[in-house]
A and B are shown apart, each in its own frame.
Chain A
């Protein structure tokens, strides 16, 4: 059953074409990893799914419903949530306020429930509840960004480089959480430069190179693929 389906999508920044006809399929309950070098267009693809920028051609479906031309705010209210590159927590808001922003459209009882769930996943956030997000460490901010995304009770979560700039121990913890999200039935679309861990965790993976999908296969096959090994896994 398809959760997200990207069909032959081209995306432009002004006159420059960043994606040259990308097709990606994410099924319900899967973890799908997208790997690729800097500037390959990974973030562009994710942002195109979110409608900012919109695809200049091609079609995007979320649970069978076309969202290609929908405004960002509307897409993000239809069961999808994003943990963007660089975390982008609201630094002047407290941890709790950040979480409440994530559940902006839910009722108070739902917010309370989701908040308790997030604190269960990340007890550290509970300790820092009333602290301003900007004063926390990178790892804590990443936890907050994930927690904020979970507040809307999404069926699918998109993570853009969640391990960027974090200490190895924290990265391990983040990846454990991602596995846990899948176990809860949330579909995960993961973009990573940390290809080894991303493919290890993934059911399937895609390799994006200069705006095109070069390869796609199961996570394990990609890990064993000699091209992938030499280009992304350090030989």
Chain B
């Protein structure tokens, strides 16, 4: 019983982090799926989302607003708007002018953008980490009377539910809507889509905006979960989410979701059963194994040469 509770606790923790990774990973995978580049500034977009949410929350508390759902909603909307505009602007300024050049050029541009945004936040917000108010407190505990009690906090439940909603809305959008269909068509054959009169630049912007908005959601959620943010907040999370995207098969949206969950669970299992220091070793080791034995990722499709 004791062991089972302990295991379940790690599973819950892992799935919590994993679903946030998945939210960030969507941005990597959608952009890769459509223009075949890794947007290394995506982690910074997520970090900016977290900061924006924090600023909004601080502002509203200073104004004396106390109704929690309203605070969360406004913070979420602010974060999504700011991050989306950032995502849009980054593509417009740093990627579009170099599109179609050698693959390394947009990649370097992305790394440059990442460094720029990180340092911008350093300057604007200071380099120390800032406390993020834990707005959602409390939770359920299971196994009273045992030496180990399993807890499922309301915060964790919020993360699950929000992620679930985002993923459902995204899947509906991609599979049902007119723009979603165009996204899929552009990711399969950009040239053909433009031969049908579709403004592919607009579709590319849309994918950046969607990815950034989801990253902002993750920013708010993980900011509250960890209780603090700093300008490097997006670096490791971005790297992990990128790993999750590759793990699941880069370019595949369900893959990013699966990859995020697997990564989150494997991390939390390693931290608890081995040691916290091995956490990153295992997650990146997992990445190497996948790349060795299934280079297209778990749900990725191999590129088929069209005849």
Contact = CB atoms under 8 A, between A and B. Distances in A.
Interface of A: 50, 52, 72-74, 76-77, 81-82, 84, 86, 88, 90-93, 97, 100-102, 104-105, 148, 152, 165
B147 interface: no
Nearest to A91: B188
A52 B306 CA distance: 20
Interface string B139-176: 00000000000000000000000000000000000000
13 contacts: A50-B195, A73-B198, A76-B196, A82-B195, A84-B192, A88-B306, A90-B192, A93-B185, A97-B184, A101-B181, A101-B193, A101-B198, A104-B178
A32 to B, nearest CB: 20
Nearest to A100: B181
B307 interface: yes
B306 to A, nearest CB: 7
B197 interface: yes
Contacts, number: 63
A92 B182 CA distance: 12
Contacts of B181: 93, 97, 100-101
B133 interface: no
A104 B196 contact: yes
Contacts of A82: 195
Contact of A77 (B191, B197, B306): B197
B259 to A, nearest CB: 20
Q: Is the interface of B mostly helix, strand, loop or mixed?
A: helix
Nearest first, the 5 closest Cβ-Cβ pairs linking A and B are A76-B197, A77-B197, A88-B192, A72-B194, A90-B185
A72 B184 contact: no
Given A97-B181, A104-B182, A52 B191 contact: yes
Given A86-B306, A86-B307, A97-B181, A104 B188 contact: no
A101 B195 contact: no
A165 B188 CA distance: 22
Contacts of A74: 197
B181 to A, nearest CB: 6
